[in-house]
Structure 1
């Protein structure tokens, strides 16, 4: 019985990760660059340590676990916001959260490696 529960939990976790990864925008780097050049807010939702080890040059670091406490830092709910993390999972969660509180133009860029060259 315990083995069955473990299999179910692992299966649900894998499906959740796959679902989060599929929530990326599908935009290529040149499309993301156009949005950034037009004034999009870029937010890195990784931990401070991850951010300090390398990040997109204009990114603001708001770790996923601080998102709800720092909502005021996102500004106008109509502006374009690009979120990214390491692989797209946390940024997918950030996108969903921001949309749930009224932000209209949130783009999940996926991982840092998906971000364009500055």
Structure 2
């Protein structure tokens, strides 16, 4: 009965714990393109939330792990839960780009 809750639980990592992982993980920034262009974490790939949720199999492979980030963590939490429920291996990046203490790429 409670397996649904266990299955939908998404692992999280704080945005500032990613510094040493950048370039070695699949980091997806789900903000809109104009937001992404204003500054994003280095090596993050931009796939807006609406696109990734409407066609996840086009962008994601169920055999890989993906880190999902947005501006503050709200959109990434929601999107991470939905993708996890679809069977994808997802880690939510809490805090989002707005909390990142490193230099942003443009």
In the superposition, the TM-score normalised over structure 2's length comes to: 0.70
Structure 1 portions without partners, runs of 5+: 1-22
Residue 107 of structure 1 corresponds to 91
Aligned: 1:47 with 2:20: no
Aligned length: 92
The Cα RMSD (Å) is: 2.4
Residue 29 of structure 1 corresponds to 16
- Post-superposition, which runs of at least 4 consecutive aligned residues in structure 1 deviate over 2 A? 26-30, 32-37, 113-118
Q: Choose 1 or 2 for highest CA Rg.
A: 1
Residue 6 of structure 2 corresponds to none
Q: What is the CA distance between 1:96 and its match in structure 2?
A: 0.7
Structure 2 portions without partners, runs of 5+: 1-9
In the superposition, the TM-score normalised over structure 1's length comes to: 0.64
